[in-house]
Amino acid sequence: MAIAYPHLIPAEKPASMESSLSSLSPPVILTQDELKKIAAYKAVEFVESGMVLGLGTGSTAKHAVDRIAELLHQGKLKNIIGVPTSKKTHEQAVSLGIPLSDLDTHPVLDLAIDGADEVDPFLNLVKGRGGSLLREKMVESVCKKFVVIVDESKLVSHLGGSGLAMPVEIVPFCWKFTAKRLQELFEDSGCVAKLRTCLEKNQPFVTDNGNYIVDLYFKKDIGDLKVANDAILRLAGVVEHGMFLDMATTVIVAGELGVAIKHKH
């Protein structure tokens, strides 16, 4: 389903990406990664010197963290402090020389930039297919602004609409019991609950917090998201889920026709 986004801006490759096309060249077909990079660079335009930033996790957010470090080293940004949403992002930021802190020291953040696995027309999100949903939600729920960067393949008519996973982080204790209860909760939506495993070892995937993830797959719309949110969190054994409701303030979507920016009303 095509979703219209206002404020269309002509797509350009970021400054650091090569472009030596003559006027007679055929149209440029951008890869998904190039689209992610364009959206990430646009998001970093929201960053100002002196900000405390939530640094997201995943292939799209990685481009934003790289860009922030680049601007810091160029002196175009100063006095930036990052709060990473995963061990992986922490390692990336340290390697790039971005000063880091945590939520204990900075309980309110100026801005967070992160990707998403799904975005609905109301800017609700599914996140966590990379496994960092708990820390992402902790960081991004205390931001004054939360800028989400995606390519247009992530747009859906309703959460779960891609047919891909909606993750739920659970404690390992009696995980089958918890997974069964989650599946039963959304029986009417044709839900299938699967434990996430590491492909190479066929062992349970373990989050940065030592928990497991159960991925929920829906055949039909799950209906009222706030009702679903509350029902999931009421189950003992559930730590957090990957629906990020009413959190994004801006979504930047990179597509073949340009970059679309949508702000929360």
Q: Which residues are catalytic?
A: 136
What residues are paired with 95 via a beta bridge?
none
> Hey, is 129 helix, strand or coil?
coil
What residues are paired with 151 via a beta bridge?
254
Q: Do strands 258-263 and 166-170 pair parallel, antiparallel, or not at all (unpaired)?
A: unpaired
> Hey, is 215 helix, strand or coil?
strand
> Hey, is 159 helix, strand or coil?
coil
Is 41:47 a contact under the CB 8 Å cutoff?
no
Task: Give the Cα separation of 203 and 218 in Å (integer).
Answer: 24
Place of tokens 């960092």: 132
Distances (CA, A) of 175 to 184, 193, 196: 14, 11, 11
Distances (CA, A) of 189 to 124, 166, 222, 230, 245: 19, 13, 6, 17, 19
Residue type, 223: G
Q: Is 241 exposed, middle or buried (0-12, 13-18, 19+ CB in 10 A)?
A: buried
Place of tokens 């601007």: 71
Task: Give the Cα separation of 63 and 228 in Å (integer).
Answer: 32
